[in-house]
Amino acid sequence: MLSHSATMHKIKSARRRFIMCAAAAAIAVAAASAPVVRDAQAQTVQWQELRRDDLGFRIEMPGNPTIEETKGLPRENLIRSIDAKAEYDQVSLEVGYAAYKNVSIDEFIKSFRSGLSVLGSPIDENSLTINGFPAREFTVAPGIVDGAYYRFVFVGNAVFSIQAVGGSSSNPTIRRFVDSFRMLMSTK
């Protein structure tokens, strides 16, 4: 059995640990709920048109997007892909073009759906037509990621992709990005 002074020492130590843990938790909550302050440069980023007449699309993107081109290997189905990426207002924006030797819309969508399923978030899927071309859009509810929006337009053996990750589909940055996408060709 512990002496009175040893018991009081344990009680005081436990109380100190509790107070320190509570203070740490309060600091973490305050930091998480504090307003995000963006620097003046982020607020003045100019949006500009990214136009690719050779690929047949245009879109508005903030700042100077990073553009990457990849060529597929002879044994791969991918011929080439071009991606333009930008980060703005805590949202990752990407527009892409991928040319394949052969692409099945159903297989592409099935594979994409399978990849999204690991997020464990509700997913809305809609079929659309853009300039006569079949398209699909996916909206992923916040979960592992803070929401995401994907649109794919299928033109022959090519796929155009518009992706925004980091907010809901009603986010003004995402809406501006997605709504600015235009095909420069049609099936007519």
- Say yes or no to pLDDT of 25 above 60: no
Distance CA 76, CA 101 (A): 9
Domain limits for position 122: 40-183
Is residue 77 situated within a structural domain? yes
Is residue 65 situated within a structural domain? yes
Length of the chain: 188
Is residue 67 situated within a structural domain? yes
Q: What is the pLDDT, as a whole number, of residue 33?
A: 33
Phi, psi values for residue 175, rounded to 5°: -60, -45
pTM of the model: 0.73
Single-letter amino acid, residue 144: I
Q: What is the pLDDT, as a whole number, of residue 42?
A: 46
Single-letter amino acid, residue 86: A
Q: Give, in order, the Cα–Cα distances in Å from 183 to each of 44, 55, 80, 127, 152.
A: 28, 9, 19, 17, 12
Same domain? For 22 and 54 the reply is: no
Same domain? For 25 and 52 the reply is: no
Is residue 188 situated within a structural domain? no
Q: Which of 35, 33, 38, 41 has the alpha carbon at shortest distance from 62? A: 41
Average pLDDT over every residue of 91-100 = 96
Same domain? For 73 and 156 the reply is: yes
Is residue 78 situated within a structural domain? yes
- Residue with the bigger pLDDT between 19 and 187: it is 187
- Say yes or no to pLDDT of 96 above 70: yes
Q: Which pairs count as long-range contacts for 30-34, CB under 8 Å and 24+ apart, including other chains?
A: none
Of the pLDDT bands very low, low, confident and very high (cuts 50, 70, 90), residue 23 is very low
Same domain? For 14 and 101 the reply is: no
Q: What is the pLDDT, as a whole number, of residue 40?
A: 41
- Over the chain, what is the mean pLDDT? 79
Same domain? For 63 and 18 the reply is: no
Q: What is the CATH number of the domain that holds 61?
A: 3.40.1000
Same domain? For 44 and 29 the reply is: no
Q: What is the pLDDT, as a whole number, of residue 188?
A: 66
Same domain? For 110 and 79 the reply is: yes
Which residues on neighbouring strands pair with residue 153, listed in sequence order?
Answer: 135, 160
Q: Which of 123, 120, 154, 155 has the alpha carbon at shortest distance from 141? A: 123
Same domain? For 17 and 71 the reply is: no
Q: What is the pLDDT, as a whole number, of residue 75?
A: 93
Is residue 176 situated within a structural domain? yes
Same domain? For 6 and 86 the reply is: no
Same domain? For 128 and 97 the reply is: yes
Distance CA 26, CA 18 (A): 12
Same domain? For 99 and 11 the reply is: no
Looking up tokens 């649109």 gives 151
For the chain, how many structural domains are there in total? 2
- Say yes or no to pLDDT of 39 above 70: no
Is residue 52 situated within a structural domain? yes
